[in-house]
Amino acid sequence: MKPILIGGEWITTSHGVKNINPSDLSDVVDIYAQAGRAETQTAIEAATHAATTWGMSNPQQRHDLLHRVGDEILARREELGALLAREEGKVLPEAIGEVTRAGQIFLFFAAEALRQKGDVLASTRPGVGIEVTREPIGVVGIIAPWNFPIAIPAWKIAPALCYGNTVVFKPAELVPGCAWALADILHRSGLPAGVFNLVIGPGSVVGQAMLDDPRVNAISFTGSQATGARVAKASLPFLRKIQLEMGGKNPLVVLDDADLDVAVHCAVDGSFFSTGQRCTASSRLIVTEGIHDRFVGAVADRLATLRVGHALDKATHIGPVVDAAQLSQDVDYIAIARSQGGLLRFGGEMVRRETDGYFLAPALITETSPDMRINREEVFGPVASVIRVRDYDAALHVANDIEFGLSAGICTTSLKHATDFKRKAQAGMVMVNVPTAGVDHHVPFGGRKASSYGSREQGTYASEFFSVVKTSYTAA
């Protein structure tokens, strides 16, 4: 059984949970010790104790540690990618890509540790100088989802440590393997005891214990809207700093003047790769009349060439759905869409393979309208619906007429429409002729409206959340 990490010690608990491979339900990845409320509180105690010393650590020390972590992740990308593919179901090239991303993020924040800067200003009062500096917040609680088991933890843990905070990390229940591997690398990097702690366990126990504890000074959360709202509500009484990245219902607009190949690539990649289990997936394909039939036909033809199967099989393009609950949600939404008048143009059926796994053929649903549930609620699976619209103005209206605002895309060769869309799309990220999913690691990531709350993640913008500003006045 793989232990949890508290105060620099690996600790085994009385209860372990099996990590099952969604591509092969007979394959147990490993068994992971479960933390309870008491262990979580001990981890918070350890992080609190370590915060003062780590907060005063010098930038070179932080740089060297983060660099060591990034180097090891990159050196082991194939092995860790295989672990990720096995526990989450991303196909191997995508999984290796995600691990690479995690390594790059640690290297980015290693360098940022050496760039911690402030401002020196003249005062409006004679003989007084002003310095504006950034300081650590203290103990940061990190609560992560299952769909990016190593990249999302990396883009929260690396900046937290870079800016001098200590961490209590709670991964999602379905993906303890990558979390454990990352904790092992961090532990061996030479981090002082208590600076990084790993508590594996259910959200309702471990996550809730973090929310309830006033010693947790900030929480960076990624997950569903419902859990995000819970994090916000629990944090308000403590006036705790929070950062919430939540769901999406991302539009991809395809205009008559789009390059058809580009549009098909954006739709297929954005909607179905990573089994559609990306918060930035394009789940609403909003297509103007003149290209609609050609586009739908070409997407269906392309889908017919893709193989769904075991994530570690080289022939596989789309891996399994992550678990039985998510699979039944996907299948339910396909049925709901059909019951409301949608036409299942391609896929949507369970696929049998040599191993017993959660294989679902990518579903393309046409003849849908913006008010249908399939176009208003996040499915989080390989399911995309097509909405036919008259022109660009109607497309923009439909794209924005939703409570979410994470990523929005457009395929067009019109500079006018691309420019207008970049300006008017109500989303944190806008994509022109590139898929809605797929971002760089060195620039801000996040959404608006119900998709996000708080300051941006990633790149230099991460310092907003992971540090606090101090203004000092000194009379000479």
* Catalytic residue set: 245, 279
Percentages helix, strand, coil for the chain, rounded to the nearest 5?
40, 25, 35
Cβ distance to ligand NAD smaller for residue 208 or 455: 208
Q: 35, 3 in Cβ contact below 8 A?
A: no
At residue 301, what are phi and psi to the nearest 5 degrees? -60, -40
Contact region with ligand NAD (CB under 6 A), list: 31-39, 105-113, 137-145, 328-336: 137-145
Does residue number 21 form part of the binding site for ligand NAD (CB under 6 A)? Answer: no
Does residue number 455 form part of the binding site for ligand NAD (CB under 6 A)? Answer: no
Interface of this chain with ligand NAD, residues 152 to 171, rule: CB under 6 A: 170
Does residue number 208 form part of the binding site for ligand NAD (CB under 6 A)? Answer: yes
Does residue number 61 form part of the binding site for ligand NAD (CB under 6 A)? Answer: no
Cβ distance to ligand NAD smaller for residue 144 or 254: 144
Look up residue 329 and give its two tokens.
């949600």
The span from the CA of 114 to the CA of 287, in Å, is: 47
Angle at CA of residue 351, ends 347 and 356, nearest 5° = 155
Interface of this chain with ligand NAD, residues 416 to 445, rule: CB under 6 A: none
Does residue number 384 form part of the binding site for ligand NAD (CB under 6 A)? Answer: no
- Size of the residue set binding ligand NAD (CB under 6 A): 29
Q: Is the dihedral of CA 211, 213, 214, 216 positive or negative?
A: negative
The span from the CA of 303 to the CA of 384, in Å, is: 12
Applying CB under 6 A, which of residues 203, 290, 438, 444 lies at the interface with ligand NAD?
203
The distance of closest approach from Cβ of residue 182 to ligand NAD in the complex, given in angstroms and rounded to an integer, is 14
Residue whose C-alpha is closest to residue 201's, from 32, 422, 67, 86: 32
- Residue 327 is inside which H or E element, if any? helix 324-339
The span from the CA of 365 to the CA of 355, in Å, is: 28
Does residue number 129 form part of the binding site for ligand NAD (CB under 6 A)? Answer: no
Applying CB under 6 A, which of residues 40, 41, 104, 147 lies at the interface with ligand NAD?
147
The distance of closest approach from Cβ of residue 204 to ligand NAD in the complex, given in angstroms and rounded to an integer, is 5
Does residue number 302 form part of the binding site for ligand NAD (CB under 6 A)? Answer: no
Cβ distance to ligand NAD smaller for residue 347 or 447: 447
Does residue number 322 form part of the binding site for ligand NAD (CB under 6 A)? Answer: no
Cβ distance to ligand NAD smaller for residue 164 or 446: 446
Cβ distance to ligand NAD smaller for residue 52 or 204: 204
SS3 232: helix
Look up residue 299 and give its two tokens.
């997407």
Look up residue 244 and give its two tokens.
């919430």
| Helices 176-188, 151-162: crossing angle, 10 deg rounding | 30
Q: What strand order describes the sheet that includes 282-288? A: 343-346, 363-368, 383-389, 282-288, 250-254, 407-411, 429-432
The number of C-alpha atoms within 13 Å of 73 and in the hemisphere containing its C-beta is 35
Does residue number 271 form part of the binding site for ligand NAD (CB under 6 A)? Answer: no
Does residue number 406 form part of the binding site for ligand NAD (CB under 6 A)? Answer: yes
Contact region with ligand NAD (CB under 6 A), list: 204-212, 295-303, 413-421, 436-444: 204-212
Q: 369, 387 in Cβ contact below 8 A?
A: yes
Which residue in the block uniquely carries the two structure tokens 């809207």? 225
Contact region with ligand NAD (CB under 6 A), list: 16-24, 90-98, 245-253, 391-399: 245-253
Applying CB under 6 A, which of residues 248, 342, 382, 405 lies at the interface with ligand NAD?
248
Summarize as ranges the residues that interact with ligand NAD (CB under 6 A). 143-148, 170, 172-173, 203-204, 207-208, 211, 222-224, 227, 230, 245-248, 279, 378, 380, 406, 447, 451
